[in-house]
Amino acid sequence: MITKFASLALAGVALSFGVAGAGLAQDTMENPMVGGAPMSPQMNIIENAVNSADHTTLVAAVKAAGLVDTLQTAGPFTVFAPTNSAFAALPAGTVDTLLEPENLEMLQKVLTAHVIPGNYSAADLMALVEDNGGAVGLTTVSGDTLGFQMLGGSLVAVDENRNASRITIPDVNQSNGVIHVVDSVLVPN
C-alpha cells in the first residue's frame, strides 16, 4: 500500500531540488523563523512545530498518528518537516485518506520515515555525504532509508522511491534535536 501511495503521491519529483551548500551551519542561539514564528532551541520539536503556520498539516498528522509523546521525549531526533504546501502537492484526497483511523499504520510509517534518530545538522549530513563518496543512507525511525547526496552544490534528501526533497530551512535547533524544513513529502516503500 505504501508503494502505491508513494507512486501516486510523488511521481515526477526531480532530483534537482536541494539546499545551498554554503552557510548551512546555524548557531544554536540563532534559530531561523519558521512559519512566521520564532523557534526556541529551549523548546522541543512539538512545542516549536505547533507555532509554525506552515506546519499545521504536519502537526495534525502527528497528532492523528499518536506520535506527539514520542517527539516530546529527550530524543535526540532529526526531523525533515514537510510544509503545508508539500502536503497540498500530494494527489487530491491523499492527506484525508492517511488521516482516516483505518490507515493509522500507514500514516505512522510515512511520518516516521521523516525522522532519523540522532542530531544531524546540515553540515553533519554534508560531511557524511563527502566521507561516503558522494551519497549516504541513514536509517529512519520507521526502519526505512533516507538518502542524502550533493547535487550541483546542494544537499538533497532522497526517499526510497528516488524522490527528492529540498531542505528550505536547515538547522532549526530544538531541545531534543533538530528540524530541517522540506518542500515535499518523503515516502518509504
Domain residue spans of the chain: 15-182
List pLDDT tens digits, range 37-70: 999 999 999 999 999 999 999 999 999 999 999 9
Look at strands 164-174 and 177-182 and give their pairing.
antiparallel
Report whether pLDDT(76) > 50: yes
Residue 11 confidence (pLDDT):
31
Rounded Cα distance between 86 and 107, Å, is: 15
Q: Is the pLDDT of residue 8 over 60?
A: no
CB 139 within 8 A of CB 160: no
What is the C-alpha separation between 164 and 152, in angstroms, rounded? 14
Q: What is the pLDDT of residues 124-147, one digit of tens each?
A: 999 999 999 999 999 999 999 999
- The mean of the pLDDT values for the chain is 84
**Beta-carbon contacts of residue 127 (< 8 Å; ≥ 6 apart):** none
Residue type, 145: T
* Residue 156 banded pLDDT, cuts 50, 70, 90: confident
Reported confidence tier of residue 29, pLDDT bands at 50, 70, 90: low
What is the rounded CA–CA span in Å between residue 4 and residue 68? 27
Q: Band of the pLDDT at 166, cuts 50, 70, 90?
A: confident
Is it the case that residue 12 has pLDDT exceeding 60? Answer: no
Could you tell me the pTM of the whole model?
Answer: 0.83
Q: What is the CATH number of domain 15-182?
A: 2.30.180.10
Strands 177-182 and 77-82, sheet pairing: parallel
Contact (Cβ atoms closer than 8 angstroms) between residue 142 and residue 109: yes
